[in-house]
Amino acid sequence: MNGFVLAGGRSTRMGQDKALLQYAGRPLIEHAVRLLQTAGFVPHILGTRPDLAAYASVIPDLHSGCGPLAGIEAALTASSSEWNLFIAVDLPLLPPLFLGYLATRTAITVASATFPTLAGRLQPLCAIYHRNLLPGITHAIESGAYKVIDGIESSVRASQLKIDIFGAEALAVTRDNWSLDVPLHRWFQNMNTPADMSLIS
């Protein structure tokens, strides 16, 4: 299964390029690519940054300036796999075991979209999407709907596809043998501002 790092944002709240921001001695983009590799995915980078090709192949958006949904569209267009994992570049605390679980769960449910939630909040930038979502995503973008969750859910409804939503809390309770170093409430902690980075340093 292909894995994609969403790294096309402008990092305006961070005040500097987020993808190359250092965490634990390595840039966030390197953490993300290694995370995908460790979990068994073939890594790719989404965005318009040719300099990031030193870490993995870069796939540019088909619709520029339309946010992460455009990156997902470009990935599903280019991907050689039916199902594809997506993570944001600024989630360095995600456990590889969790990403592997997402792939295993998708193989069982064969859902077109697999979302984890934490405290009831959907995590659309740590999810698996099938290529059959592509027409609906393109339609959403061309209609001016750029929010990831809106684009995915409208695509699912329009084509009567299956969506799988599960709580990460329930999973963590049943996976005590994972021996994770990072507590669950920090797995999806985005690094949007310098203050966010200080929380994990």
Model pLDDT for residues 32-60, shown as the tens digit of each residue: 999 999 999 999 999 988 899 999 999 99
Residue 133 within any structural domain of the chain? yes
* pLDDT on residue 117: 96
Q: Which residues contact 138 (CB under 8 A, 6 or more apart)?
A: 73
Q: pTM, whole model, 2 decimals?
A: 0.90
- Which positions ≥6 away from 162 have C-beta within 8 Å? 109, 110, 111, 112, 113, 156
For residue 126, the model assigns a pLDDT of 97
- Choose between 109 and 15: higher pLDDT: 109
Give the chain's domain count: 1
Do the beta carbons of residue 126 and residue 87 sit within 8 Å?
yes
Q: Domain of 135?
A: 2-190
- CATH number, domain at 33? 3.90.550.10
Mean pLDDT of 120-143: 96
198 in any annotated domain: no
Decide if 146 is inside a domain. yes
Residue 195 domain-assigned (yes or no): no
d(CA 40, CA 80) in angstroms, rounded, equals 15
Query: In the predicted model, is pLDDT for residue 80 greater than 50?
Result: yes
Token readout for 59 is 């796939």
